[in-house]
Structure 1
Amino acid sequence: MKDEIRYLPLCPVKQRFFLQPTLELAQSLLGCLLIKETENGIAGGFIVETEAYMGPEDQAAHSHNNRRTKRTEVMFGEAGYVYTYVMHTHCLVNVVSGPLEKPEAILIRGVEPFIGKDLIKVRRGMDNLVQACNGPGKLTKALGITMDDYGKSFRDSSIFIVEGYTPIHISSGPRVGIPNSGNAKDFPWRFWITGNPFVSRP
């Protein structure tokens, strides 16, 4: 199925795809292709790991208690837009989800390289593709995603999401790196394709 996708038109998913409830969308994104076009070429990979952040009620979310800042503003808009932010010098990419004025988002934590593998190797300075994209900061470097992508649409811009394949099994568990978020640190809102080697943490 993955090889067949190589020969299909790379048509972005429709807006209705992003209108799913956030926890459902976080799982529906698994197996989709995340693609970025740049002057240096096009690169993309199958999304294998996501984390859902449920907005005002979620202590781990940037928008907890409806916190509205220049950084979080895009989350208050339509679903299907790009929310990028910098953490420890790494750019991380999220899919805005949820209804208008309900600032929810889904962090993309891992991708399996599929398009532009040679470009990915150059960008990451390594031949090991598993290590190149198995983390949220790694995958943005590999695909060329930057803070300039903030606020773009995943449907009609240089960064877009394409329908891929449906995983056979999906696992879930607590999100990563949120120790100071009360009970939210234990919510099983991280999702990954079971057994996929490109997942950041099994």
Structure 2
Amino acid sequence: MHVFARKFLRIVICILPLVAMRQDNRLRVIFFGDSITQAGVSPTGYITKMNEILKLKGQDSNYELIGAGISGDKVYDLFLRLEADVLSKKPHVVFVYVGINDVWHKTLSGTGTDPDKYVKFYEGLIKRMKAENIRVIICTPTVIGERTDASNPQDGDLNQYSKLIRDIATRHNLQLCDLRKSFHDYLTHKNPENKEKGVLTSDRVHLTDEGNRFLAEQMLEALLQK
């Protein structure tokens, strides 16, 4: 072997363990949810934007952000795929962001999730993740319609399920990311015309570019909390 090639090989052999160590030291964060999270890894999605913000802060090498969202999922679906899509990846932190379809599908197809079952499966998720010493951050559902005068058809259910999430956070001493409140506060100031969509969402549920930016900021603030 040429002398230069041997020297290069020795350098590579020395560097590779350091690179692997650096990779292993990153905080692995999984975002577990539905179509909003599935779209979060798109070029304009909220997870992508979180990575961009971290890069601007010079902190992107400290985190590995992984999307685990599937369109249409409810809390029961998350419970069924927890092992394959979350636990097998050995995360340090998991954001659980589910509830829109549990409410919305009651109207769309009659296949939503009753409150008692929602809590039961949600707490089942938490129990299994806490057993693996995972830091769990739970999120209240956001919006199905952007009107701020309580006239969106699902506002009552979303408020009820958000309260369930807040109660779960208190009961299990978990960190809460109260997206329901954050979205309502934002829309109160930024939606003076009381439009049902077009500010943070494109269709009353799925996020615009501004919606993804705002969600990224809320998630990142929660992640960086000590």
Q: Answer whether TM exceeds 0.5 for this pair.
A: no
Bigger helix fraction: 2
Bigger strand fraction: 1
What TM-score does the superposition give when structure 1 sets the normalisation length? 0.24
Q: Which is higher, the Rg of structure 1 or of structure 2? A: 2
Q: Which has the higher contact order (CA 8 A, sep 6+)?
A: 1
